[in-house]
């Protein structure tokens, strides 16, 4: 009994090279003895059917312990396979669970017409010739008549071609329209031919014009549908008059929330990757083949190596590298995307640039505003960093943005309150924390209040609180389907972060002057001490049991235990003792004394030390079934970054998000400024 199935290892054993005359058609199977959940797989073509090949196919088709079929859920938790003859495998132990409450349906409809025209480009500067052809083609046809008008360049000429074949690439013009009249020879083929004849030398039309005639196309929309709202009818091919109506009232259904969950199987006994020697970063597809397909509720991909003498070594590397955590990290890094809207002439020093791009838009021009409105239609979240009223003056207020994208979440972050005394004033973190009342609580007793860098206002009370509001809005959107406005400010956010100390000011825990309380530096056993080598140790022995261990470890160095550690009159003397003792030895010495103890004493590490020791940077939160964005990938190890140049990545953003093409839908000037071109006049 295999419970669960160790598919991958046995599937690898079945891999073998094809012979030159072998039929590579996928093996068909014959199913017999369907009773008791047993079935037999029998060979029909020239390939082998055994337990290993069958497991390999199950691995590709199902990838888990459950197969979600619209009519039944197959449970293969306790599947068993037995080789009962040549190319015959008996499979048993498969159980059927109640069907899901949704059906997978495919809606097909007449989608209009399509036509295509192709030509060959020969010689130098093929990309430039293709771009010129596209620009002129879009000018001589009425692009508003096409739902799709795409220009696709195939191939790359050799660097030093020796003949015409090596210097030739293909340009495909693909068009779709609701009306066949828009794709007739006079409106599509004719203009393209005329454009080709008037173009640069080296453009030759493909003389087979059959594809340029309009052809009817169908559209296909897969989805899930509540089976209770759909009438199901079975039609018999050989008996057209015969039908059977399926009554779902008789079907036992598994509610969506009760569906059995697929579990991830982690790599067993992974091999240390350094065993394979030095590695270099290349595209995975250049070393590993893949096959993918739609399998109901998920999209799967199978990865495999070509057969060869080093196949086992490659397999060990692949299974050890593509752990569940690595795969989640790869997926998470690919799906997250952010874009800054910057002003021209801006030299940003922001180093928080991972997965971020920039486009430069002049918001003082009509083209710039049109560009923003186009982008808004394709995003989930917009963060408004301006003072109150700026977006409204630009015609991009909440109502206008919601009309463009009803699912949009508009997060409005300000420093001061939007309706408070300081709303029209400029400020920085120190100002916001100051008027929140929190800055007055920070710093030594014998000095002025000390700002905690810009962590409290900008990042904690500002960014983190605003992020929480965005998450709540996203959660609500899953129910309502609509976005909303999230408002946050750094004054209230900072006060919220400091809720505990603010409330404790009414108690003995924090009712004294700044720098004399238990947790603000006033307590000697909750403080930082310098060591002999000018480094530092942090002491946090608040609880009696932890304080007792601290005293025990420091007695050999002369520490005198105070009669009552909570007697504040003894604190100055205790602080002097601790300072003298810690200053007598190096930090490394104290680490050897306190490591692996519960004295709550640790070294104060610097960022330089962490980086030098290759201390792993990790996601701040881990979810056991969801991808997490890792810190330590080759381009970003968590310790270094580079500023995001204004305009960097903007061309790719407009291409991926809006489908715009450089030089056709927008221009990229010498200054890196992305500006609206031909498209703006038509929107």
In this structure, the number of other CB atoms found within 10 A of the CB of residue 488 comes to 23
Q: How far apart are CA 494 and CA 492, in angstroms?
A: 5
Q: Is 80 helix (H, G, I), strand (E, B) or coil?
A: strand
Q: Is 455 helix (H, G, I), strand (E, B) or coil?
A: helix
Give the CA dihedral 573, 577, 583, 588, nearest 10 degrees.
-130
The tokens describing 399, both together, are 């109502």
Q: How far is CA 44 from CA 27, 40, 61, 238, 350, in A?
A: 7, 13, 19, 25, 63
486 has which bridge partners? Answer: 411
The tokens describing 238, both together, are 């050989």
Asked if residues 129 and 202 have their Cβ atoms less than 8 Å apart, the reply is yes
Give the CA dihedral 350, 356, 362, 364, nearest 10 degrees.
-80
Q: Is 320 helix (H, G, I), strand (E, B) or coil?
A: helix
Q: Which residues contact 553 (CB under 8 A, 6 or more apart)?
A: 593, 594, 597, 599, 601
Q: Is 42 helix (H, G, I), strand (E, B) or coil?
A: strand
The tokens describing 31, both together, are 């199913």
Asked if residues 664 and 135 have their Cβ atoms less than 8 Å apart, the reply is yes
Asked if residues 537 and 590 have their Cβ atoms less than 8 Å apart, the reply is yes
Asked if residues 195 and 130 have their Cβ atoms less than 8 Å apart, the reply is no
Q: Which long-range contacts (CB under 8 A, 24 or more apart) does 147-154 make?
A: 147/112, 147/176, 147/177, 147/178, 148/114, 148/174, 148/175, 148/176, 149/173, 149/174, 149/175, 150/174, 150/175, 153/121, 153/126, 153/127
In this structure, the number of other CB atoms found within 10 A of the CB of residue 158 comes to 10
In the residue annotation, 458 being an active-site residue is answered as yes
3-state helix, strand, coil in the chain (%, to 5): 35, 20, 45
Name the catalytic one among 458, 492, 665, 668.
Answer: 458
Q: Among residues 516, 534, 535, which one has the least CA distance to residue 526? A: 516
Q: How far apart are CA 339 and CA 269, in angstroms?
A: 41
Largest CA distance in the chain: 102
Q: Is 422 helix (H, G, I), strand (E, B) or coil?
A: coil
Catalytic residues: 458
């Amino acid at each position: 009994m295999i419970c669960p199935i160790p598919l991958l290892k046995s599937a690898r054993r079945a891999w073998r090279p094809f012979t030159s005359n072998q039929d590579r058609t996928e093996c068909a199977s014959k199913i017999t003895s369907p009773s008791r959940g047993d079935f037999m797989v029998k060979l029909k073509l020239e390939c082998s059917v055994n337990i290993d090949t069958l497991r390999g196919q199950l691995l590709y088709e199902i990838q888990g312990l459950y197969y979600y079929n619209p009519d039944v859920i197959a449970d293969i938790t306790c599947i068993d396979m037995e080789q009962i003859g040549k190319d015959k495998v008996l499979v048993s132990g498969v159980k059927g669970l109640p069907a899901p409450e949704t059906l997978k349906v495919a809606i097909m409809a007449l989608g209009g017409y399509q036509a295509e025209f192709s030509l060959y480009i020969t010689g130098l500067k093929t990309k430039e010739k293709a771009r010129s052809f596209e620009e002129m083609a879009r000018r001589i046809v009425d692009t508003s008549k096409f739902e799709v008008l795409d220009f696709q360049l195939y191939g790359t000429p050799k660097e030093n071609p020796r003949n015409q074949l090596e210097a030739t690439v293909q340009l495909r013009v693909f068009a779709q329209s609701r009306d066949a009249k828009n794709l007739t020879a006079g409106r599509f083929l004719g203009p393209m031919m005329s454009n080709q004849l008037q173009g640069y030398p080296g453009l030759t039309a493909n003389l087979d014009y059959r594809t340029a005639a309009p052809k009817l196309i169908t559209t296909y929309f897969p989805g899930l549908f509540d089976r209770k709202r759909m009438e199901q009818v079975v039609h018999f091919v050989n008996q057209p008059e015969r039908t059977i109506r399926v009554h779902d009232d008789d079907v036992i259904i598994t509610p969506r929330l009760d569906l059995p969950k697929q579990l991830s199987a982690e790599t067993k006994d992974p091999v240390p990757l350094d065993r394979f020697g030095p590695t270099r970063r290349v595209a995975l597809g250049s070393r590993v083949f893949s096959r993918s397909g739609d399998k109901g509720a998920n999209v799967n991909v199978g990865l495999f190596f070509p057969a060869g003498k080093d196949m086992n070594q490659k397999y060990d590397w692949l299974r050890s590298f593509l752990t569940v955590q690595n795969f989640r990290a790869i997926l998470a890094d690919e799906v997250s995307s952010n874009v800054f809207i910057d002003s021209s002439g801006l030299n940003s020093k922001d180093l928080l640039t991972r997965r971020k791009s920039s486009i430069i838009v002049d918001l003082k021009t009509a083209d710039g505003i049109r560009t923003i409105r186009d982008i808004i239609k394709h995003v989930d979240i917009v963060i408004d960093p301006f003072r109150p009223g700026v977006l409204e003056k630009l015609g991009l207020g909440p109502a206008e943005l919601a009309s463009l994208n009803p699912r949009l979440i508009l997060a409005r972050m300000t420093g001061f309150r939007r309706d408070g005394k300081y709303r029209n004033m400029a400020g920085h973190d120190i100002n916001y924390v100051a008027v929140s009342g929190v800055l007055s609580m920070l710093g030594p007793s014998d000095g002025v209040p000390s700002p905690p860098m810009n962590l409290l206002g900008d990042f904690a009370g500002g960014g983190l609180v605003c992020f929480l509001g965005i998450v709540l809005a996203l959660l609500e959107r899953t129910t309502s389907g609509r976005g909303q406005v999230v408002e946050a400010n750094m004054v209230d956010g900072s006060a919220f972060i400091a809720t505990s100390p603010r409330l404790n000011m009414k108690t003995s825990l924090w009712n004294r002057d700044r720098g004399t309380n238990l947790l603000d530096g006033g307590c000697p056993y909750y403080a930082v001490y310098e060591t002999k080598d000018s480094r530092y140790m942090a002491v946090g022995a608040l609880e009696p049991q932890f304080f007792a261990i601290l005293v025990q470890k420091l007695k050999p160095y002369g520490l005198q235990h105070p009669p009552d550690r909570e007697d504040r009159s003894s604190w100055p003397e205790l602080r002097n003792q601790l300072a003298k003792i810690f200053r007598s030895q190096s930090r490394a010495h104290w680490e050897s004394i306190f490591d692996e103890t519960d004295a709550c004493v640790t070294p104060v590490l610097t960022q330089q030390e962490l980086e030098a020791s290759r201390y792993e940077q990790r996601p701040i939160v881990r979810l056991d079934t969801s991808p997490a964005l890792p810190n330590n990938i080759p381009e970003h190890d968590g310790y270094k970054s580079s500023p995001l140049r204004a305009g960097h990545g903007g061309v790719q953003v407009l291409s991926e998000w809006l489908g715009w093409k450089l030089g056709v839908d927008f221009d990229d000037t010498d200054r890196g400024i992305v500006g609206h071109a031909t498209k703006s006049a038509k929107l």
